[in-house]
Every structure is written in structure tokens, then in C-alpha cells.
Amino acid sequence: MSPREGWQELTQDLNQLAGQAEQKLQARENHKRWRNAFMQALPVAVSTLAVFAFAQLLGRLGKVSALQFTLWPWVALAVVLWLLQAIRLQRRAAQHADGIARQRALHEWDQQLHLADRLATADEFLHQEEPTPFMQAAMDDARDHAAKSRQASLLFAPESTPPRLASPLLAMGMCLVVGFFLGNWQSTPVVEEPGITVSLPGGSGEVQEKDPVNESNPPPVQAQMPQKPKPERKPSVEEANAETHAANREAGQDERSTKGDIGSGRSSAAESSTGAGNAQGTPSKQGQISKPGERKTGSSKPKPPKPRKEESGEPPKKNEEQESGSTAGRGSSRGSNRNPAASDWASKDHVNTPDDQDLEDENEVDDEDEEQESRGGMQPTMRDRKPPVSRDLSIGFGNQPSPDAKGRGGPSTPKKSRGTASLVLGVPIPDRVKGQPNQGKTKITQERVQPQAEPAKTGIAQERLARVDPASALRRDPLAPWMSRIVRDYFLQRSQSER
Amino acid sequence: MTDSSPAAAAQAEAAAFCDLHQRIRQEVGRVMVGQGDVVDGVLTALLAGGHVLLEGVPGLGKTLLVRTLGEALDLKFSRIQFTPDMMPADVQGTQVLVDTEGGGHELQFQQGPLVANLVLADEINRATPKTQSALLEAMQERQISIGRRTIHLEEPYCVMATQNPVEQEGTYPLPEAQLDRFLLKLLVDYPEESEYRAILERTTGSEDAKVSPVTNGAEIVRMREIVRSVPVPEIAMNHAIRLVMATQPNRENSSAMVRENVALGASPRGAQALLLAGKVHALLDGRFAVSTDDIRAVATACLRHRVMINFHGMAEGFSADQIVASVLENVPAAV
């Protein structure tokens, strides 16, 4: 079989495979178009049912009485509109759809049979005017695969993405339920009396009187018009209130008698109480007299306002000792009040007396050194916690920062709104703890040691000879005799001229 | 001569190609244990006429692989150990002052190690971008221009560079223009448990495995011509183009992952790399034309170094491989 004949067979095989795949692909495309059309038309059905629910609502409110239909015509209308819209969308999609390409049909075969695009490639190369040797080899390679593929059948995997029906169906169901509920609610008669039918079409409160004599005769046109309720039939507000009061009185009597029965045998004080709770003998908290000593002071007692420094009647030294961490070490409770949270920035500069200053500083330095050693490194020392340099450039009012400083008035009261500490009332937390950026104090020790001579081998300068090898890569070839003579004559003439 | 002869000739060439590939692979396998994908990738780049970038932690045999390949191919092999103080003249060559016969001196050009057939650029990201840029012209144009002198490099020419991902301290990441010139970027991973025994036996014993040349430069050039003659059908070419365009964040059809996490997508060189590497893949698979499967098989190695992740993607922890995987998932092979 010549290659051309083989390629004709290949062409026939590919035609058959492509035709088969195109039909199946076309069917799948149609199915997909119909499905998409039905999905896209679902809002029409939802809208119809929403109109149904709205109409039922209007009918319930008495706005429009002509829309009071039953459920099934609305459902039928929704289905019809849905189908019409789906058909319209499917036709429009079919008009704009391209035909199934032959390459795509063959590629489906390649994909399903794992032929690595042999069929689609061979079909493309068959249409080449002058196929290269590799193209011819590719066509020869695809010939056997195409022949084998004719026995196979093309199968498509089911759609991986299910249609999203949840939200449209939910909306339709909601509309149906709402409409059905509204429709049923308005059609239920509220009050029925012999001879009188009271219906509330749309909630308007109409009252129509049925005449048993003229029941069989249709009423005149005017009688069919909505009539005003008769005054004796329509309860007025006063009457309604009177009835309500009477009903309440009766209910109260019944209640009292019932409670009296329940509360029989109890104390007379409980029985003579007027409230319902008192009638049952349950003591109320408001009526109970509590002893002054029983009241909890922690939660209910309001805290006295914290006295300001200027207004405090205590001597300033005592106040400073309580607030300052640097001065709290004195006495038996030394070191216990060194929490930086309990200190105040402004209370550090004028605390100690001059007599105790040196001794106290020395002791604190020793304590802090010991603490630092025990902590294993440098730690921020409380002693250095001095207020930062004031940047308040405005004129203040005494010790208070200027109210116009807008936050730039230097040290102020510590912030209380940070982290967990902000949840604890009355615990001032400074906004930062001053640390030491460097290694701190440096101890310099100087030792007076005399320099000592070290034994060293003395070198002999004469042993260091001149370099034998050339210093660079330049070669010094011996001069030619004629050049030597020229150089010699040159220097002789020069020496003679100098004489 | 019948009509079947051209097809038969093509089949014979394809068979010769596969045979040569197998011979080289066997010879390299005498020294190199495991890393089959890496060996195939290096041979793909060599036979496709491109360059390859090997990335892996130290001690996985990247340098050994390239050195063994140089011995098996009987090519002019040179190795450049890149260091931070290396200058372009150290790579390309420079003029040096030499003595003449008559005692004088003259400036003479001395070629750098870049002038060879197979160049191992070891730890290429340790050199400064200035020196790295010295490779640009050689890798793309196959020539070196120094002053007024232009040196045309001999074919086959292949640069195989290695870099360590963890030793980023004191290194200079390769610029995009440099990365784009590599046909493939291969990730060298740790060997399997079964391969450790063979590695230890070969490297700790007294006998060294000898590698003998199995081919030469002329045959490599011939194989490259065979690769170039493999046809690419329209379906495969369209797929390669769509893949490359899908990595570009400013395209309308690019995925949300690409738009949000990619700063720079693949260039047309990426599509060229897909087709060239796909041709080699098709020949090794016994076919005579490139298919979409070939394109997808080589897409990760061809595109991972051409996709630049932006700060958002880095913060999210995305890698280039994940981006390429998402592109492959979003761009089906269907027509």
C-alpha cells in the first residue's frame, strides 16, 4: 500500500470519526443550551410567583380586589412563561452558536483514547500541500490509531458542575408559600352569626347583613356596594372599653378568689397585700428592710473621688512617699512598692532630703546591681526612670502643662488605657518604661605594668641579598655588538665634553 | 525513490535521536544515581539548543551531573566558579600584555572560560549582576563582544548554571533578563531512600566510575537539527500561546490567582521554550509531532523561572510552581 492510499484510508477514518464526534458534540451542545436556557429563564417564573404573592398581599390589604385568584392559575402562568422564555433563549443561543469544528471533534477522540493529538494532528497535516518528512511520519503513525479508533465509541463524562437550582427554587417556594398563606388568610371568615355574615375582604372590616327572606333574590346594585356598618352592630370605643373593664373586673375577681384559695393558711400580712407577688407571700426586695451592716461596700458603695495633689490635706512628703517608686524603699516595706505602675513621673525630682540622698543612692545602686546580676543581664533600672525632657514650648500654668499644648506639653499623667491593665481600675500604667540603650556604666581599670622585653632573633642585614630573579617579566637580553659600541661612544663623547 | 522514503527517513532520524539520548543517559547514569527527571531535563535543554538552570541544596550532585555530561559528550568543557569579586573580564576574556619575540610587548586577547561548548556556571547567583550580565550575549547571540572584537561561539553551545536556594546570604538573584535566557529551570531534590545506597557505594569506595565519550559536538548539532524539524500542529501551538498568555497578569483571560499574585508573566521566549522542549519530549515519546500533552509536560520547567511573583503572592506564600499549576488547571487542552 502506497502512502497516498494509506492517507486516503486515514482520511476516510478521520471523516467517520469526526462525523460521529460532531453528532455527539452537537447533541451535547444542544442539551447544554437547553439547560442554560431553562436556568436563565427561571427568574421569569420566580417573578411571576412574586407577582402572585404581591397580588395576594394587595388583596389582603383591600387595595385591589380583582387580583384575588387562586394559586393554580398563577402556577400555570409561571410555568408557561418559563417555558416560553426558555425556548426564546435557546433559539437565540442556537443562532449565535458556531458549528462543531472538525479539529475539536477529533481532539475529543484524542482525549478519550489518550492518543496525544495524533488524530487531530494527522488531520491537519493531511491538508498540507507539501508535508515534510516528519509530517508524513506523523500521518503514518496516526493511521493505525485511526483504524483502531473506529471500533471505539465516544463517551462523554457527565457535567461536572451541577446546575445551581437552590436559590431560584427557594425563591419560588417562598413566593408560593407567602402567596398561599395570604390567600388563605383573607378568605377565612372571621365572625359568623345567624343571618349575618361578616367577612373581611381585604381586611376592610365590611359587615354585610344577610336577609333570610331575600336571600334567594339577588340584591340590587346599590345593595352590593359596600355598606357602612350599622351603629348598633359596630362596637364603639367606649363600649369596647367598658367591655374590657368588665372583663378585667371579672377576671380580677376570679384571680383573687383563686389566689385566696391558694394562699389560705398563710399569714395575714401576706394575704392583705395588694400586689400579686405579695398576695402569694413572696417578699419583694424593695419592701424588705436590710440592715446597714449587711450592705456590701465593695460593689455598691461609690468610691470617694481621688483627691488631687493640690487639694490633698495630707503633707506632700507622705503623698510622695506613697506614689514614688524611688522613695518607697525606705522603712520596712522597702522594695515592695517599686512597681513602675505605682510611681508617678512628676514626683521624682523633689523627694529626698539632701542629707539622705547620697546614702540612699548608694544603697539603691547596690540593690540594682544585685538585681541585674540575678536577672542575668542588663535590665531597665527604676532609678533612671526620670521624666523625659519637657518639650512644652508654651507658657504653662504653674506646674500644670499648658492646655493649648495639645499633647506636647511634656510629662503628663500616666496613661491608663493599655492592655489588660486598662481593665483594672485605678492602676496607672506609664506608657513606656525607660531602658538603657547602651551597656550602661563601664568600669575602667588601669594597671601600671612595666613593659618587658621578649626574646627575638636578631637578623643580619648582610644576609639579605639583592634579588637575583628579574623583578618583572621584562627580559634583559645582551645587547648586540653594534649597539654596545654606540652606547660606549655615546658615553665617551659625553665625558670628553664635560671635561 | 518511493513516497514512503521521507517518512522512513524521519522515522530513522527519530530513532537515532532516541538512541543517542539513551546512550548519553546510560553513560551519565554510571556516575549519577537517580535524579532521572533532572538528567532528562538537562539532556532536553542540550538537545533543544537551550541553556539550563539547576537549583537545589548543596550536595545533591548538580555540579557532578554537568561535569559528567561534559565528559560523556566529548565537548570543550569549562567551569566557572562564580564569586562576588568576579569581573566580566574574568568570564569573557580580556587583553593582557605579553612579550613579543623581539623583546617588545603587545596587548593580546586571552579568551575567558565562556568560550567553550559546555560551560558550567557554578553558583551563578554569587556573582554580581555586572558579571552575570556578561553571559547575556553569549547565551542569546552565541557570541562575545569585547571592545571591537566579537568572538562567535562554536556550536553546540550550552550554559548549565547551578544555584543554591538556601544560601541567599551574599548572593545576587539573577535578573529577569538572565533567567529568561534559560530554556529550563530544574529543581534538584533529595534522592530517594533506595538511591542512597548506590550513592554511598560509588562515592566512598576505592573505584571511581569512568565516563567515556559517547558522542561529539557534530552529532549534537545534528540532533538539534532533528529537533527543529519536528512539526508543531496548530492545536499545540495555540495551547502553548494560551498558556504563556495566561501567566501574564494584565490579560483579561488570566485567572484571579495570576492577577493578584504575579508581577511579571512569561515572555515569547517562554512560548519558544515550550515548543522546543515539547519537540524533544515528543521525539522521546516516539511521536513525530508535538501534542498538547508534550506542552503540558514541559510547562512547569519552562515557565517557573519566567513567572515573577509580586509582594502579595510572596506574602501569601505562593511559589512559581503553584502559579504554573493553576495556569495549567485553568487553561485546558481542549480546542
CB atoms within 10 A of CB A331: 9
Domain boundary among B194, B229, B264: B229
Higher pLDDT, A288 or A382: A382
In this structure, the answer to whether residues B118 and B222 fall within a common structural domain is yes
Q: Containing H/E element for A33?
A: helix A3-61
Tell me, yes or no, if A101 comes closer than 8 A to chain B by beta carbon. yes
| Confidence tier at A258 by pLDDT (50, 70, 90) | very low
Q: Check residue A104 and give its pLDDT.
A: 79
Chain B closest-CA separation from residue A42 CA (Å): 29
Given an 8 Å threshold on Cβ–Cβ distance, is A136 in contact with B230? Answer: no
Q: How far is CA B262 from CA A186, B191, B320, in A?
A: 62, 31, 9
Give the pLDDT confidence of B104-162 residue by residue, as tens digits.
Answer: 888 888 888 888 888 988 888 888 888 888 888 888 888 888 888 888 888 889 999 98
The domain that holds B36 is classified in CATH as 3.40.50.300
Cα–Cα distances in angstroms (integers) from residue B257 to residues B268, B303, B325, in the given order: 21, 16, 11
Most confident of A159-163, A466-470, B47-51, B73-77: B47-51
- For residue A285, pLDDT beyond 60: no
Q: How confident is the model at residue B243 (pLDDT cuts 50, 70, 90)?
A: very high
What pLDDT score does A307 carry? 43
pLDDT value at B76 more than 90: no
At A77 the pLDDT is 82
Q: How far is B233 from chain A (nearest CA, A)?
A: 6
Q: Is residue B253 a contact partner of residue B245, using CB atoms and an 8 Å limit?
A: yes
Find out whether B223 and B20 touch, Cβ atoms under 8 Å: yes
Q: Please name the residue that has the C-alpha cell 383591600.
A: A62
Indicate whether B207 and B237 sit together in one domain: no
Lookup result for grid cell 424588705: A288
Q: Minimal Cα distance from A472: which residue of B?
A: B99
Residue where one domain finishes, among candidates B205, B229, B253? B229
Determine the residue among A107, A134, A161 to mutate to test chain B binding: the one whose Cβ has the most chain B Cβ atoms within 10 Å. Answer: A134
Q: Can you give the pLDDT at residue A145?
A: 83
Of chain A, the percentage scoring pLDDT greater than 70 comes to 40
Q: Do A117 and B103 touch (CB under 8 A)?
A: no
If asked whether residues B189 and B218 sit together in one domain, one would say yes
Say how far apart CA A39 and CA A168 lie, in whole Å.
Answer: 9
B11 and B45 housed in the same domain: yes
Domain extent at residue B324: 230-335
- CA–CA separation, A346 vs A350, rounded Å? 9
- pLDDT, position A438: 60
Mean pLDDT value of segment A222-233: 43
Which residues, 6 or more positions from B50, have their beta carbon under 8 angstroms from its beta carbon? B158, B182, B183, B184, B273, B276, B277
How many domains is chain B built from? 2
A202-220 as b/e: b if 16+ CB within 10 A? beeeebeeeeeeeeeeeee
Q: Give yes or no: residues B50 and B126 share one domain.
A: yes
Mean pLDDT (whole number) for A330-337 = 41
User: What would the mean pLDDT of A139-166 be, rounded to a whole number?
Assistant: 74
Chain B, nearest residue to A132 by Cα: B6
The pLDDT tens digits for A386-442 are 666 555 555 555 555 555 555 555 555 555 555 665 566 665 555 555 565 666 666
DSSP B13: H
pLDDT attached to residue B211:
83
Residue after which a domain boundary falls, among B229, B246, B272: B229
Q: Given CB atoms, is A8 within the 8 Å cutoff of chain B? A: no
Same domain, B29 and B80: yes
Across the interface, whether the CB atoms of B231 and A103 are under 8 A apart is answered: no
Shared domain for B82 and B221, answered yes or no, is yes
Q: pLDDT band for position A371 (50/70/90)?
A: low
Q: Which residues share a beta bridge with A400?
A: A397
Q: Which of B1, B18, B230, B235 to mutate against chain A (most A CBs within 10 Å)?
A: B235
What gap in Å lies between CA B230 and CA A348, rounded to an integer? 89
> What pLDDT does B8 receive?
86
Q: What are the grid coordinates assigned to B83, written together?
A: 564569586
ipTM score here?
0.82
Predicted confidence (pLDDT) at residue B225 exceeds the cutoff of 60: yes
**pLDDT attached to residue A30:** 78
Q: What's phi and psi for A30, nearest 5 deg?
A: -60, -45
Judge: B10–A137 Cβ closer than 8 Å, yes or no. Answer: yes
**Residue owning grid cell 543581664:** A377
Mean pLDDT of B169-184: 84
Same domain, B126 and B213: yes
pLDDT at B132: 86
Confidence at residue A318, expressed as pLDDT on a 0 to 100 scale = 42
Handedness of CA B83, B88, B91, B95 (dihedral sign): negative
Average pLDDT rounded to a whole number, residues A58-76: 68
Note whether B151 and B235 are same-domain residues. Answer: no
Average pLDDT over residues B279-291: 92
Tell whether B215 and B267 lie within a shared domain: no
DSSP letters, A119-133, are: HHHHHHHHT-SS--H
Q: What's the CATH code of the domain at B254?
A: 1.10.8.80
User: Which carries the bigger pLDDT value, residue A349 or residue A463?
Assistant: A463
Residues B64 and B157 in one domain: yes
Do B265 and B319 lie in one domain? The reply is yes
Average pLDDT along chain B? 87
Kindly calculate the radius of gyration of chain B based on its CA atoms and give it in whole angstroms: 21
pLDDT at A6 over 80: no
